[in-house]
Each structure stands twice: as structure tokens, then as C-alpha cells.
Amino acid sequence: MKPATDLCHTCQSFSSTLSCSGNLNEEEKEDILSKYQEHVGHVKEQRDHYRDQCAAAKSTFVQLTPEQKIRGQPPCTLQSEFHYSFDYAQQVHYPHYAQQVGPLFFKTPRKCQCFGICCEGSGTQIFYLVDEAQHSNKGANTVTSMLHHHFMYHGLGETDVKLHMDNCSGQNKNNTVIG
């Protein structure tokens, strides 16, 4: 069964075009379907590559000694390569209660940005919660600062990392992190 949510923009565009393709001739429909299938094939290759990197990171982590598995090691002290994924989650509002009192308690709850970094080898995650009072945007500098903090204080001391992130242009981290 195909997932109904979290599709990329290209998949959503193809899906929308195909669902409204009643007025297109067969050749146009086949062309759109062909491009869609090519895109899905490319996505599958990327997903397989991601899974291979995660499997390699898990294999490396299993071989570490118990002392090496402790997070917070000094950077570049362990000759190894690990894989990390990171992204912003949906904003969190607080306080939050199952049965919110409504207008009697807070008119507008406080907002908190949630940024998570997952070490795919160990399966552990570190979350950074940024209160709205910090006025932190979700730009490349903020992301890079949190990544730097993570590797300085929560890393395994690895010398090499592979990073996976979404392709959000507002957080264009490629030029900042890699460059």
C-alpha cells in the first residue's frame, strides 16, 4: 500500500496531473506516466542508498566497545564513519494537556521548535527544543549551529559522517555544512 502523506512535491504534482488527465490524449498520459515512473525509480535508488548507509552504520556501531558507545566523546577520536539524519519536526505548543481548559487557561500557547538528530547506527536521537522567545529561525545557520553542538557534545567521536536531510530550500544546509 502506498503512503498517502509525506510525498515529495514532484510526486504530488504527477499524482495531481494524472488524476485530472481526463482531457489529455493517450500519448500525453503515457508521457506523464513514463516521467512519473522514472522519478519513482530514482527515488527508490535514493532510498536503497539511504538504507545501505544505515545498515553500514549499524554494523560499525555493533563492533564498538561499550566505552566507545558512550555519547559525548571528543570529536575525531574514533576512526570510524557514522550516518545521521536530521530535520525539524512540527512545532510543539505548551503547556499541553489532554483536556485543555481553553480560553480560561491560555489564549495562545507558547510555541517551541523541535529539531532532531538521529544517529542511525545506535538508533538514538537528540532533540533540540527552541522556545519562541529565542527568535530562532529555521535557516542554515541555526541548523549548522545545532549540528556543531551535537558533534561537540553528543557525538561518538567519529572522524567521518554521512548526513541525510530533507531538501528544504529555506534551510539550504548543503552550502553551509559542506562548503
Q: pTM of the prediction?
A: 0.79
Q: What is the pLDDT of residues 52-61, one digit of tens each?
A: 999 999 999 9
> Can you give 118-157 as a three-state secondary structure string?
EECCCCEEEEEEEEHHHCCCCCHHHHHHHHHHHHHHCCCC
Spatial separation of the C-alpha atoms in residues 5 and 28, rounded to whole Å: 26
Residue 32 resides in a domain: yes
Q: Looking at the structure, tell me whether residues 32 and 84 fall in a common domain.
A: no
**Residue among 144, 145, 136 nearest 165 (CA):** 144
Q: Looking at the structure, tell me whether residues 119 and 157 fall in a common domain.
A: yes
pLDDT at 8: 80
> Which one is predicted more confidently, 65 or 3?
65
Q: Looking at the structure, tell me whether residues 110 and 158 fall in a common domain.
A: yes
1: pLDDT confidence band, cut at 50, 70 and 90?
very low
Residue 92 resides in a domain: yes
Q: What is the pLDDT of residues 59-77, one digit of tens each?
A: 999 999 999 999 999 999 9
Q: Looking at the structure, tell me whether residues 16 and 79 fall in a common domain.
A: no
Give the domain extent around 105.
65-179
> Which amino acid is residue 175, in one-letter code?
N
Q: Looking at the structure, tell me whether residues 44 and 15 fall in a common domain.
A: yes
Q: Looking at the structure, tell me whether residues 51 and 121 fall in a common domain.
A: no
Helix/strand/coil percentages in the chain, nearest 5: 45, 20, 35
How far is residue 58 from each of residues 74, 117, 124, 167, 170, measured CA to CA in Å? 21, 16, 11, 24, 31
Residue 3 resides in a domain: no
Q: Looking at the structure, tell me whether residues 124 and 111 fall in a common domain.
A: yes
Q: Looking at the structure, tell me whether residues 113 and 148 fall in a common domain.
A: yes
Residue 131 resides in a domain: yes
167: pLDDT confidence band, cut at 50, 70 and 90?
low
Residue 1 resides in a domain: no
Q: Looking at the structure, tell me whether residues 59 and 71 fall in a common domain.
A: no
13: pLDDT confidence band, cut at 50, 70 and 90?
confident
Q: Looking at the structure, tell me whether residues 71 and 118 fall in a common domain.
A: yes
Rounded to a whole number, what is the distance in angstroms from the first to the last CA of the chain?
40
Structural domain tally of the chain?
2
Q: Looking at the structure, tell me whether residues 70 and 55 fall in a common domain.
A: no
